[in-house]
Chain A
Amino acid sequence: MQKPFLTVDGLSKAYGNFIAVSGVSLDVGRGEFFSLLGPSGCGKSTLLRMIAGFENPTAGSVLLDGADVTALPPEKRPTNMMFQSYALFPHLSVAKNIIFGLVQERLPKAEIAVRLSDVAEKLQLGTLLERKPSQLSGGQRQRAALARALVKRPKVLLLDEPLGALDKNLRAETQDELVRLQKELGLTFIIVTHDQQEAMTVSSRIAIMQAGRVLQVGSPETVYEAPTSRYIAKFLGEANIFEVASAISDQGLASVVLTGFEGRYRARLPAGTSTVGPLWLSVRPERVELVRNGEGVPGIVEDITYTGAQRRYRLRLATNATLDAVKVNSGGEDFQIGEAVAAGWAGEAAHLLAE
């Protein structure tokens, strides 16, 4: 990552005894599409609102493009926010909503007109400019709200659950459009979302938050392929988690004994993870390979879900835990409910987690 454009340093926010955000530090580069991902109540919106200036942090600072903006009110910050509710002004037309911030800046009329027609064209709002927000569909409102923030040419655009109110098809379409716009304009986007699929699709990097803290920051590939905790492994997609009885380092990988099972299994040992102390092994369902006779964790096929493109098998293991395996539908061999199988995986498909 290049030199950080936005730096959040030790930012905290407490409401009385409740700590919403607890000592969060992040660096966001210029032109990044950065996601704050976490379940509701994890503090991601509060963090975004502190970056925008709506909440005063209890501790910590926000640096934007080299300047400390921590003490600045929202109207003095070079950031703009797209609100979850869109917050379009109901008494103003779409055009007046979009130019609201430019009028406040007292820009020349000619410049306002040029910027308005530019953004209206980019977001296909040309025919809707004279309408009131109440006369727009959900998708149109979303685009009007985006236009109103973009037209100010912010250094950082903050998006609070921008697609939360859209239906599924429109969501996917709008995700693509957001990514296209962000690339085209070269702007820095910070998006708050609770939808891990959405974060994976649009982001260059994701910060995963829980209970006011950032647990891991990384590219979608990093956080999915190399989660640093069981919580992240389960929060991003699905994971089969085994308790590790003992582990030794073996030729770059780890050789592991799983509690309740015989034999040794292989897994990646992330740098800095010790083989001593409580460990867990995590493997994604799509990386599990099922065989009739062979090495692996033994189990009985308990349930099969057919979704067309794939089959999902649920195995009941000897420890009474379950294991999920997903197979692409290749039209080939299939297993039956009640069949005894073994579940194995390639060494680099699984990894060890310390927490």
Chain B
Amino acid sequence: MVTPKTMGQNQRLLIIPPFLWLGVMFLLPTLLVLAIALSSTRVGMPPYEPLFTWDGAMLSIKLNFENLQFVFRDGLYAHAYLNSLKVAAIATLLTLLIAYPLAYGISCCKHPWRSLLVFLVIVPFWSSLLIRVYAWMAILSNDGLLNSLLLASGLIDRPLQILNTQTAVYIGIVYSYLPFMVLPLYSNLADRDQSLLEAARDLGCSRLSSFWRITFPLSLSGIVAGCALVFIPVVGEFVVPDLLGGADTQMIGRTIWVEFFNNRDWPVAASVTVLLVLLLVIPITLLQSRLSKMRV
């Protein structure tokens, strides 16, 4: 294995371009957002005061923590944060419950079928997320496909209000993020060692108990990876709640959008963003170090 110690000079050079890319395209913008969060609002373009001013003789730095404090004080933001975490948690759980049997089923298939089914899981990526969410609007609306079908079949006598509710948001999120859960689970489950399952059977387990005692615990790393890939982006999800959700789905992504574009309050919007990042980064870092300790 290549460890940093055994890595040659040339190999070290190889990691420079990706890190340069991440630095310019990710770290720098994040720092800019942090800077905006610490400045004050003003009317004009850009709509915030500069952090650093140079009057020819003196460099003055003006840090404004009021925006961050404001985000803490106003219950609206806390509510949006908590609601985002709740929606993300429930949506992640729903996605997991659908994705696990799906990934397990695919991993049990014989060879040509496997690749075909994995391919089918990825196919939706080929069209834009926005188009697919609009399609869901057409399906879920009061005179949409689903309601027409239900009405025609006589199961209901007046259209169900699904669009612009929390339910529509869950449907949209679970649908959009399913592949992110299926793929890590599938790659974990497809690699499972059949001889371990045979050993479990040999030692007295039925098919079901060998699943719970062997397959499931060994797939935990896939579950953690899939949940992280779904949970983290869903917390900040904007498109789905904006298009499918109603007034009751106040999520943090939408709050940021409103602050930026409706209220034109960039410092507050940036503060909400910074807190959102911290809210996600700190627990995930803790979890990661926990997991890496567990592996040793």
The residues of A with any CB-CB pair to B shorter than 8 Å are 52-54, 73-75, 79-81, 83, 85, 87-91, 100-101, 104-105, 148-149, 152
Known contacts A89-B214, A90-B218, A91-B218; is-contact A75 B198 (Cβ 8 Å): no
Task: Tell whether, in the assembled complex, residue A105 and residue B204 are in contact, meaning their CB atoms are under 8 Å apart.
Answer: yes
Q: Are B203 and A85 in contact (CB under 8 A)?
A: no
**B201 partner, pick from A75, A88, A105, A148, beta carbons under 8 A:** A75
Q: Decide yes or no whether B258 CB sits under 8 A from chain A.
A: no
Q: How far is the CB of A79 from chain B (nearest CB, A)?
A: 8
Given A75-B206, A104-B209, answer yes or no on A87-B199 (Cβ-Cβ < 8 Å): yes
A314 to B165, CA, bound (A): 91
Is B200 a contact partner of A100 (Cβ separation < 8 A)?
yes
B4 interfacial by beta-carbon distance below 8 Å: no
Asked whether B193 is an interface residue with its Cβ less than 8 Å from the other chain, the reply is yes
The contact of B204 among A75, A83, A85, A90, by CB within 8 Å, is: A75
Of B198, B199, B201, B218, the most chain A CB neighbours within 10 A belong to B199
- Whether A101 pairs with B218 at a CB distance below 8 angstroms is no
**Minimum Cβ distance to chain B for residue A156 (Å):** 12
Q: List 7 A-B contacts (CB under 8 A).
A: A54-B202, A74-B202, A79-B202, A87-B193, A87-B195, A89-B200, A100-B200
CB distance from B225 to the nearest CB of A (A): 16
Interface centre among A73, A74, A105 (most CB of B within 10 A): A74
Question: Closest chain B residue to A104 by CB distance?
Answer: B204
* CA–CA, A321 and B277, complex, Å: 83
Q: How far is the CA of A53 from the CA of B201 in the complex (A)?
A: 10
Question: Which chain B residues lie closer than 8 Å to A80 at the CB level?
Answer: 202-203
Contacts of A91 in B (CB 8 A): 217-218
| Interface pair B202/A81, CB less than 8 Å apart | yes
B196 touching A75 by the CB < 8 A rule?
Answer: no
A90: chain B residues at CB < 8 Å are 196, 218
Answer yes or no: B205 CB below 8 A from chain A CBs.
yes
**Among A73, A75, A148, residue most surrounded by chain B Cβ atoms (within 10 Å):** A75
Rounded to whole Å, the gap between the CB of B273 and the closest CB of chain A is 39
**How many chain-B residues does the 8 Å CB contact rule pick out?**
17
B204 vs chain A, min Cβ distance (A): 4
User: Contacts of A148 on B, CB cut-off 8 Å?
Assistant: 199, 203
Do the beta carbons of B198 and A87 come within 8 Å of each other? yes
Bound CA–CA A104/B218 (angstroms):
18
Nearest CB in chain A to that of B199: its residue: A87
- Are A74 and B209 in contact (CB-based, < 8 A)? no
Chain B residues lying within 8 Å of A54, measured Cβ to Cβ, are 198, 201-202
CB interface residues, B 213-240, toward A, < 8 Å: 213-214, 217-218
Smallest Cβ-Cβ distance to A100: which chain B residue: B203
Contact partner, B202, options A75, A85, A88, A105, Cβ 8 Å: A75
Question: A102 to nearest B CB, angstroms?
Answer: 9
Task: Tell me which residues from 182 to 216 in chain B have a Cβ below 8 Å from any Cβ of chain A.
Answer: 193, 195-196, 198-206, 209, 213-214
A75 B199 Cβ-Cβ under 8 A: no
B193: chain A residues at CB < 8 Å are 85, 87
Which among A80, A89, A90, A101 has the highest number of chain B CB atoms within 10 Å? A89
B9 to chain A, nearest CB (A): 32
| Contact B199–A83 (Cβ < 8 Å) | yes
> Is the Cβ of A87 less than 8 Å from the Cβ of B201?
no
How many Å lie between the Cα of A53 and that of B199 in the bound state?
12
A83, B205: Cα distance in complex, Å: 16
9 tightest A-B contacts by CB?
A101-B203, A87-B199, A104-B204, A87-B195, A74-B201, A75-B204, A81-B202, A74-B202, A75-B201
CA separation between A306 and B193, bound complex, in Å? 47
Question: Are A74 and B195 CB-contacts (below 8 A) given A91-B217, A104-B203?
Answer: no
Nearest chain B CB to A95's CB is how many angstroms away? Answer: 14
- Alpha-carbon distance A6/B205, docked complex (angstroms): 23
State in angstroms the CA–CA spacing of A81 and B196 once bound together. 12
The docked-state distance in angstroms from the alpha carbon of A104 to that of B199 is 12
Chain A contacts for B214, CB-based, 8 A: 89
State in angstroms the CA–CA spacing of A162 and B193 once bound together.
18
B204:A89 contact, CB within 8 angstroms? no
In the assembled complex, the Cα of A90 lies from the Cα of B215 at a distance in Å of: 11
Interface pair B199/A89, CB less than 8 Å apart: yes
Contact at B204–A101, with CB atoms within 8 Å?
A: yes
> How far apart sit A52 and B200, CA to CA, in the bound complex (Å)?
13
When the two chains form their complex, are residues B195 and A104 in contact, meaning their CB atoms are under 8 A apart? no
Nearest Cβ distance between residue B274 and chain A, in whole angstroms?
A: 39
Residue of A nearest to B206 (CB): A75
Contact with A along B161-179 (1 / 0, CB 8 A): 0000000000000000000
Could you tell me the distance in whole angstroms from the C-beta of A198 to the nearest C-beta in chain B?
21
Given contacts A85-B195, A87-B193, A89-B196, is CB(A52)–CB(B202) below 8 Å?
yes
